[in-house]
Amino acid sequence: MKLSSGILFLPAFLTAQSPHLQTWTLEQGRLIADPGASAAPLAVGSLQKPFVAKAWAAAHPARATPRFRCGPGSACWLPSGHGEVGLTRALAVSCNAYFRSLAKDTPPFVLANTFRAEGFSTLPISPDLAIGLAGPGGALQIRPGDLLEAYERLVREPWAVGEPVRSQVLAGLREAALKGTAGALGQRGWWAKTGTVPSSDGDPTRTTGLLIAVDDAGWTVLARLEPGTGRQTAAALAPALARLRPGHMIRGTTEQANLVPVKPESPQITSSASSKVRIRLLDLLGSKHLEIRNLGTAPIPAGRAYLGPGAAKSLHAGDRLGPGFLELRDPVSGLARRFEGVLACGRTSQGALSLTATLTRREYVSGVLAAELPHAPSERRIELGATVLRFLAQGPRHIGADVCDSTHCAWFVGRGPRVTWVTPRQAMHPQDLIADPFNGLPDADWTAMSEAAVRPGPALWTAHCGGAPLSPHAIWGHGDTAVQPCLRHGPERSHPWTREWKEADLTKAFGSPVRALRVTMDGGVWTLRIDSDRDSWALSYDAAHRRLARVTVLGWDALPSPADAIEAIPGGFRASGVGWGHRVGLCLGD
């Protein structure tokens, strides 16, 4: 399988053995897997180690975590040993000796109960089985979806017992992603853990590598590389993960320098209207039942049959329709989405339909303009169209697709109707839809956009800069520190806003009553700091936006842009700021 990135790097010895990489992702509670990726239980090796720490903490609620000296005789995967390590460092370097010691110091029934609660198979637990090694009866196993959910809980939910230990575990996963066994990821903002297990074909000369990573917004990915190691899996996945986050440049590492490219591709801007874009549709809706209609004047392919003009059918996993002029419709909400292209349909483990459309670049750009600037003059549309083409040239931002249709990538409505999202899974009611806001892209405009896109310019855009644009670094903690100046707005046209967040909504968002909220610029990066009765949080703008939208009646409008200040008020907090969106790149405000 080729990752959805510009270049997939693999070790030279693996390229001769046809490596196979599978990925599973968890987004908004829905499991999305590569075609052919099995949902059957897997042995995951060292990915089990955080749960050894959880079991030890449950058995020793009043004890500080131990330190351990891992030397040449410690039976660790590193023959020379890791030296003296504590929990955080031991997790970052995946020290077998340290975690075997923790497992020996934990009653077997506590280990068994902990692993069972996380979704693992119920073999009798020995210390070696607990740290991910195989015993006479095999290794512990877990379904990919259950493992992703376990890691999502690990980074999001405080432990009932041993919360200080959890903090050390999270610090170890952060360190692993930066300079530990997952250091080939080469970027901040991830919790990550690698594992290496015997090859599934029984060949003793080969191994299978695994990586699990969770970002600050809760997006979780599991990757499995066969043959390979955990470190090599991290290196193979790094380019694709980097492209999921705008404004990022991959940090070079010694390990990456020793890798060779497989099927290198340069992410060049092309003016060809026939160049394809793969877009994931209606993920936020999470619908289990959708209808597809042929709006064209001729039959279109529909698997082994055809769908006639004006005809409609219910969608099922495995369906593939088009090319043609299609309309997706949700019979429950009435939401519709029209576009010209090919549609492929799958299904998540939760039963929701998973849709990927393949469009021309011209069709995609037109659909973004219909969402963002439906009634703007031609020169504004050309400016945004060129920016969208530069954005596409940076490479795919999803595993298995280039973009999605939400603001994670770009607001896309195809040929309409234009829909306003209220919460991550709820759109406006049908009577609130604005039909057909934009009637296509004139040839002259498309030509002008394509010519402008190859010249230097922004590759990101925002709804309104608030008179104070921000840099990619200020919002995402990486990327360019330079600010794209706005020629339309100064401080006198800042579009100020205020929002009041009720105590009950904040408790839902963060799991316990919130005692304090404040905005900081840590290292020049916008950060929302939350102190609750059970934990403290530090969230990026994207993570804070999603968390507030998920539970509050304000939905996506709960945090219109990075807030400038937050103050306590009776019954909650008041946030204030300027602008709309993240305030990075081309400003679309009037």
The domain limits of the chain are 8-262, 276-453, 491-587
Please choose, from the candidates 120, 169, 167, 174, the residue with its C-alpha nearest in 3D space to the C-alpha of residue 147. Answer: 120
pLDDT, one tens digit per residue, over 412-459 is 999 988 876 555 455 554 544 555 555 678 999 999 999 999 999 999
Query: pTM, whole model, 2 decimals?
Result: 0.61
For 554, half-sphere exposure in the C-beta direction (CA atoms, 13 angstrom radius) is 18
The partner residues of 183 in beta bridges, in order of sequence, read none
CATH of 8-262, one of 3.40.1390.10, 3.30.70.660, 2.170.120.20, 3.40.710.10: 3.40.710.10
Report the relative pairing of strands 207-215 and 220-226 from DSSP bridges. Answer: antiparallel
pLDDT attached to residue 76: 92
Please choose, from the candidates 364, 296, 299, 294, the residue with its C-alpha nearest in 3D space to the C-alpha of residue 328. Answer: 294
Cα 291 versus chain centre, distance: 27
Ranges of beta strands (E only) in 243-319 are 260-262, 276-281, 291-294, 300-302, 305-307, 312-314
pLDDT, one tens digit per residue, over 260-302 is 222 223 334 444 444 899 999 988 778 899 999 999 999 999 9
pLDDT attached to residue 422: 53
pLDDT, one tens digit per residue, over 303-340 is 889 999 999 999 999 999 999 999 999 888 778 899 99
Q: Quick one: average pLDDT of 538-544?
A: 85
Percentage of the chain surpassing pLDDT 70?
Answer: 85
Report the relative pairing of strands 207-215 and 68-70 from DSSP bridges. Answer: unpaired
The least confident of 51-55, 348-352, 551-555 is 551-555
Q: How far is Cα 383 from Cα 448, in angstroms, rounded to an integer?
A: 9
pLDDT at 237 over 80: yes
CB 326 within 8 A of CB 415: no
pLDDT at 171 over 60: yes
Q: Which tokens hold the place of 548?
A: 């507030």
Q: How far is Cα 170 from Cα 91, in angstroms, rounded to an integer?
A: 9
Q: Quick one: average pLDDT of 153-162?
A: 88
